[in-house]
């Protein structure tokens, strides 16, 4: 095609030469018109093979097609085209706060497979944390290099040999029996306990902290399904997780509505902790609500998780693994 255009250009140039007295203005204009028609025709044919055009032909507006092409990778565009239908959630999905372009095809597949009427933000959250994937086959080793931000759950596991390097022991003023955790956790809890006591006259106590891989095997066997993780999938093995109760309420079941339980839920982020398994988001992490289970992530991250009302799983997927740096 480029060769043909070049030949036409040369021909016009030759005709326009002063020696070619026979060339009239109408002939020149006609030649230019033919050239423009051929160029436009070539552009039109080429456009028909673009992903933008293919997406447009699925029923999207031209602006929607351009938006999708500008946002998605070529592979993701091909996936959308392969659906051979206009997906009503495609454009709204792009505007979701925690949208990750690499997960776009999974959002569409999850929505279509489950015929779900779930809000788009819920679909985004579930796919981002891997809910759409088989838990066993998609499991990967926990990235322990992340330190206090390492993610441990059913899809990110620790091996039986992992043990924290900086374990410290709580004094008996802060726990019911000999308990250890990462030293930064011990220090932060001591400060939090004092603040709670000053503000509520209630005393928080650590009921359980670090547990080894072997310890977790026994814990899993003793607890109902959904209330304990399998060995290798428990945050307690990291040394950054603690189960909290109080001296006034040593049994943890009424802890949720106790004065200290409410205070802890509202203020723990000020000391670097998050409520790891909140009530309304249990589907995301696969465990029942645990008002006593805290995870240390540091003050900055804890504040963001609290302010944005998301789980640590969502935070990790978007701010650590995803497109947005911390």
- 191 to 167, 186, 209, 260, 284: CA distances (angstroms): 18, 9, 17, 14, 30
Q: What is the pLDDT of residue 18?
A: 52
Cβ–Cβ under 8 Å, residues 79 and 54: no
> Could you tell me the maximum CA-CA distance found in the chain, to the nearest angstrom?
109
pLDDT value, residue 157: 94
Higher pLDDT, 98 or 224: 98
- Rounded (to 5) percent helix, strand, coil in the chain: 55, 10, 35
**Tokens, residue 66:** 């351009």
- Can you tell me the mean pLDDT for 215-229? 80
Contacting residues for 96 by C-beta, under 8 A, at least 6 apart: 120, 121, 124
Residue 44 has pLDDT above 70, yes or no: no
pLDDT band at 41 (very low <50, low <70, confident <90, very high): very low
Give the three-class secondary structure for 196: helix
Digit-coded pLDDT (tens) for 135-188: 767 789 999 999 999 999 988 999 999 999 999 999 999 998 889 999 999 999
Q: Within its chain, how far is the Cα of 121 from the centroid?
A: 11
What's the mean pLDDT when you consider all of the chain?
83
Any idea which residue has 């206009």 for tokens? 86
Q: Who has greater pLDDT, 14 or 132?
A: 132
**Separation CA 203–CA 116 (nearest Å):** 45
For 204, phi then psi, to 5°, come to: -70, 145
- Give the distance, in angstroms, between the CA of residue 254 and the centroid of all CA atoms in the same chain: 33
* Residues comprising the chain, all counted: 326
- Residues paired with residue 242 on neighbouring β-strands, in sequence order: 294
pLDDT at 324: 58
| 3-37: pLDDT as tens digits | 555 655 665 565 555 555 444 556 555 555 555 55
Is residue 133 pLDDT above 60, yes or no?
Answer: yes
Q: Tell me the CA end-to-end span of the chain in Å, nearest whole number.
A: 49
Q: Which residues, in sequence order, are CB contacts of 222 under 8 Å at separation 6+?
A: 228
Residue 40 has a pLDDT of: 47
Q: Which pLDDT score is estimated for 282? A: 65
Model pLDDT, residue 326 = 46
Question: pLDDT tens for residues 246-299?
Answer: 887 666 567 888 899 999 999 999 999 999 988 876 666 667 788 899 999 999
Token representation of residue 31: 């030649």
């Amino acid at each position: 095609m480029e060769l043909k255009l070049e030949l036409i250009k040369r021909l016009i140039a030759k005709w326009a030469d002063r020696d070619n007295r026979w060339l009239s203005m109408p002939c020149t204009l006609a030649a230019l018109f033919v050239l423009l028609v051929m160029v436009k025709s070539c552009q039109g044919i080429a456009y028909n093979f673009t992903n933008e055009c293919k997406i447009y032909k699925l029923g999207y507006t031209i602006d929607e097609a351009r938006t999708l092409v500008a946002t998605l990778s070529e592979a993701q565009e091909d996936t959308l085209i392969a659906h051979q239908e206009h997906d009503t959630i495609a454009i709204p999905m792009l505007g979701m706060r925690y949208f990750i372009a690499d997960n776009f095809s999974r959002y569409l597949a999850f929505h279509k497979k489950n015929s779900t009427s779930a809000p788009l933000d819920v679909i985004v959250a579930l796919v981002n944390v891997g809910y759409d994937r088989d838990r066993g086959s998609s499991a990967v080793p926990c990235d322990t290099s992340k330190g206090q931000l390492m993610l441990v759950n059913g899809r990110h596991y620790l091996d039986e040999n992992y043990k924290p390097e900086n374990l410290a022991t709580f004094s008996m003023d802060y726990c019911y029996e000999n308990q250890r955790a990462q030293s930064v956790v011990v220090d932060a809890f001591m400060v939090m306990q004092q603040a709670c006591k000053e503000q509520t006259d209630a005393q928080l106590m650590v009921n359980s902290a670090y547990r080894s891989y072997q310890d977790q095997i026994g814990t899993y066997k003793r607890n109902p399904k959904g209330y304990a993780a399998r060995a290798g999938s428990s945050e307690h093995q990291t040394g950054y997780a603690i189960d909290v109760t109080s001296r006034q309420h040593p049994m943890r079941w009424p802890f949720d509505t106790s004065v200290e339980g409410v205070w802890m839920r509202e203020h723990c982020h000020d000391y670097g902790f998050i409520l790891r398994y909140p009530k309304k988001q249990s589907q995301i992490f696969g465990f029942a609500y645990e008002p006593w289970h805290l995870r240390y992530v540091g003050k900055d991250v804890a504040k963001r998780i609290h302010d944005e009302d998301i789980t640590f799983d969502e935070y990790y997927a978007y701010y650590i693994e995803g497109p947005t740096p911390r």
